[in-house]
Amino acid sequence: MARASQTETAVLGALSFMPMTGYALREAIRDVLGHFWSESFGQIYPALAELEQRGDVRRAGSGRTGASTFDITRAGKARLKELLGQPIQQVPPRNGLMLRLFFGRQLGPLACRSLVLGARAEAERRLAQFDAIRREPPDEETAQDRPYWLLTVSAGEHSARAAIDWADEALAALDELGRSR
């Protein structure tokens, strides 16, 4: 088979909360899972087509002409559970910041400093966003899911705080390096 793309997991998972159009799926994934997941239209529409053919989602032609709201079927719910149980597919690491810092001598302490500063600012932004998510009023319907969501928020916070701590350490080290040169 091997057709088990993680896109299907994300799509089925999102639809397990509520029926949506493909367009809305993309927005939901961007806005809600954005910190740790992403999908583009070019992935979502073909995935929906295949899921429909397999009977995992159903097209409930609603609202405007041409637009269709997709709904997860009973089979789809079972498939989601199966997909979630499959081993995690690791993506090979590709950290552009670390690549640059590793060859940082070529760039010099100053350019490295600004790279680290940029990473620090980005981590601060993420932290603020997580804070905003935590402040969102809990929703009755999804109350049961909230503890799991908070697990992912917490992971993001730990990661962002680690990035900030590291950045401060790195900035100090780079300053030292700049002075002694």
Partner DNA sequence: AATATCATGTAACATGTTACATGATTGG
Partner DNA sequence: CCAATCATGTAACATGTTACATGATATT
Residues that bind DNA (CB under 7 A): 2, 5-7, 21-24, 38-43, 45-46, 48-49, 63-69, 92, 94
Residue 74 interaction partner, one of its own copies, DNA, none, beta carbon < 5-8 Å per kind = none
Q: At what angle do helices 22-32 and 6-15 cross, to 10 degrees?
A: 100
Rounded to the nearest whole angstrom, what is the least distance from the CB of residue 128 to its own copies in the complex? 18
C-alpha distances in Å from residue 22, one per residue of 3, 14, 44, 101: 20, 11, 7, 40
Instruction: Kindly tell me which of 3 and 94 has the beta carbon lying closer to its own copies.
Output: 94
Q: How far apart are CA 39 and CA 33, in angstroms?
A: 10
Q: List the one residue from 93, 132, 136, 137 that touches its own copies (CB under 8 A).
A: 93
Q: Which residues contact 54 (CB under 8 A, 6 or more apart)?
A: 75, 79
Residue 116: half-sphere exposure toward Cβ, Cα within 13 Å: 23
Tell me if 151 contacts its own copies by CB under 8 A.
Answer: yes
> Judged by CB, which is closer to its own copies: 66, or 147?
147
CB of 10 to DNA, least distance (A): 9
Which partner, DNA, its own copies, none, binds residue 2 by CB below 5 to 8 Å per kind?
DNA
Give the separation between CA 104 and CA 172, rounded to whole angstroms.
15
CB of 67 vs its own copies, minimal distance in Å:
25
